[in-house]
Amino acid sequence: MVSSNITEAPVCLNWCANSSNMTYTKIELSVIISIFSMTVGIVSNSLALAILVKAYRHFKLKSKASFLLFASGLVITDFLGHLINGSIVMLVYSLHKDWDTFDPQKILCGFFGACMVFFGLSPLLLGSVMAVERCIGVTNPIFHSTKLTSRHMKKLLALVWLFAIFIALLPIMAKRPYVVQESKSWCFFKIKNKRDWVDVFFPLLFSTLGLVSLFISILCNTVTGVTLIRSKMRSEKHRQGRSHHFEMICQLLGIMLVSCICWGPFLVIVKIGSTDSQNNVSSERMLLALRMATWNQILDPWVYILLRKAVLKKLFIITSRCCGYKILNLYKWNCSSMKCSMRMTSMSSQPGLVPESSIRSVMPDTVISGTVPCT
């Protein structure tokens, strides 16, 4: 018996050492992932914010200005989300996730949980509001230009933020504070060991609002896209005035796709966990879904960086050359209004008043041959 105990002791020590090394490796990997995502998110959102602010100042078209206002608000929200939540995560890891020691009153946990809900719900709500705004601007432009003024858009942006703050503060006001999750690296609603219907209500409300926002975005973007395609097929002469619409639709589709891929799994898991009385939702699966959701704030700014008119134009040229098609009518990307077409129509409709030489001085040979170089 003594010899067997002596033989088993080194085996036990080696196993304990290996398990502790694996634990430290997982912690270091989590810290590296958090630092990387935080850094990339802050840099990406800063770059996208600079592009959007510059475009908002110089773009005079009202419908585009409203879209850029909401897009800037979305990027600012993502930037602050990475900065605040990332800083708290770094603090938690630096203190070895010992919440009982550095946060015995659960004040930091409550603030962290409220930030998680606010910065998670705000981008989803803003994405749906942007989709509704574009849908109204395309399907009913007169109502959009007369009723939805710049002041109304700013108030709507503020209301979205206030509503997200209200949802984030609801558990604290109801004296059902946020709790530390099993991984001890973040705080959220009570998903397991729920006491009554109140503990079920809060995560169910959060997931339902998120899923409804995604559904509204999909529905409105579909209606807007179909309307633009039908108007293009019906009236060729209005193509030039709608190029900015297609740029915004491309960006909205990118935001919608990123939100569905990143936030969809987390919202579904939260919804299942809130209604599951058996506590079958694993913490590892939920943490993985949360990390996928954080990539939404990293990928959102790249939608505005990459899906711009200048970038889309270059991609169109490269694709056309690679596919072997002849590039025709590139002026559609350059004309943001109908000035050029109106000027050509008025000049051509009155040939007796304007001599042919003056027309040729205004319109180069490329115009006469079929390409209008509008800038």
Q: Residues 262-285: pLDDT tens digits?
A: 999 999 999 988 887 776 777 888
- 359 or 121, which is more confident? 121
Q: What is the amino acid identity at position 328?
A: L
Integer Cα distance of 23 and 326 in angstroms: 59
Answer whether 306's CB lies under 8 Å from 325's CB. no
Nearest to 168 by CA among 243, 87, 113: 113
DSSP-based three-state secondary structure for 301: helix
**DSSP character at residue 52:** H
Q: Is the pTM of this model over 0.95?
A: no
Q: Is pLDDT at 247 greater than 80 in this prediction?
A: no
Q: Stretch 44-64: mean pLDDT, rounded?
A: 73
Query: What's residue 53's pLDDT?
Result: 77
- CA distances for 373 relative to 292, 310, 331, 340, angstroms: 45, 16, 6, 9
Report the range of poorest mean pLDDT among 4-13, 49-58, 103-112, 356-365: 356-365
pLDDT of residue 375: 38
| 3-class secondary-structure state, position 179 | strand
Percentage of the chain with pLDDT > 70? 71
- Helix count (H) and strand count (E) of the chain? 14, 2
List Cβ<8 Å contacts ≥24 apart for 309-313: 309/243, 309/244, 309/247, 309/333, 312/247, 312/250
Cα angle 33, 81, 132; round to 5: 120
Which tokens hold the place of 140? 């009913």
More confident residue, 238 or 72: 72
Residues 6+ apart with CB under 8 A from 67: 130, 133, 134, 137, 248
Q: Are 240 and 338 in contact (CB under 8 A)?
A: yes
pLDDT at residue 363 greater than cutoff 50: no
The C-alpha atoms of residue 333 and residue 335 are separated, in whole angstroms, by 6
Residue 59 pLDDT exceeds 50: yes
The set of residues, in sequence order, having a beta carbon less than 8 Å from that of 185 and lying 6+ positions away, is 30, 89, 92, 93, 97, 287
- Interval 168-178 mean pLDDT: 92
Q: What is the mean pLDDT of residues 249-272?
A: 89
What's the rounded Cα separation, in Å, for the pair 89 and 49?
Answer: 24
Beta strands in the chain (DSSP E): 179-180, 187-188
Any bridge partners for residue 188, and if so which? 179
pLDDT band, residue 48 (cuts 50/70/90): confident
Question: What is the H or E stretch that residue 338 is in?
Answer: none
Bridge partners (DSSP) of residue 180 are 187
Looking at per-residue pLDDT, the higher value among 304 and 217 belongs to: 217
CATH of 16-190+198-234+243-321, one of 1.10.10.10, 1.20.1070.10, 3.40.190.10, 3.90.1150.10: 1.20.1070.10
Dump pLDDT digits (tens) for 8-18.
445 454 544 44
- Torsion sign (Cα): 94, 95, 98, 104: negative
d(CA 115, CA 113): 5
pLDDT of residue 234: 73
Q: Return the ∠ at Cα 27 (arms to 109 and 192), rounded to 5°.
A: 45
CB contact at 8 A, 317 and 284: no
pLDDT confidence bin for 287, thresholds 50/70/90? confident
> Any idea where the domains of the chain sit in the sequence?
16-190+198-234+243-321
Assign 27 to helix, strand or coil. Answer: helix
Which percentage of the chain shows pLDDT scores above 90? 26
The separation between CA 241 and the C-alpha centre of its own chain, rounded to angstroms, equals 27
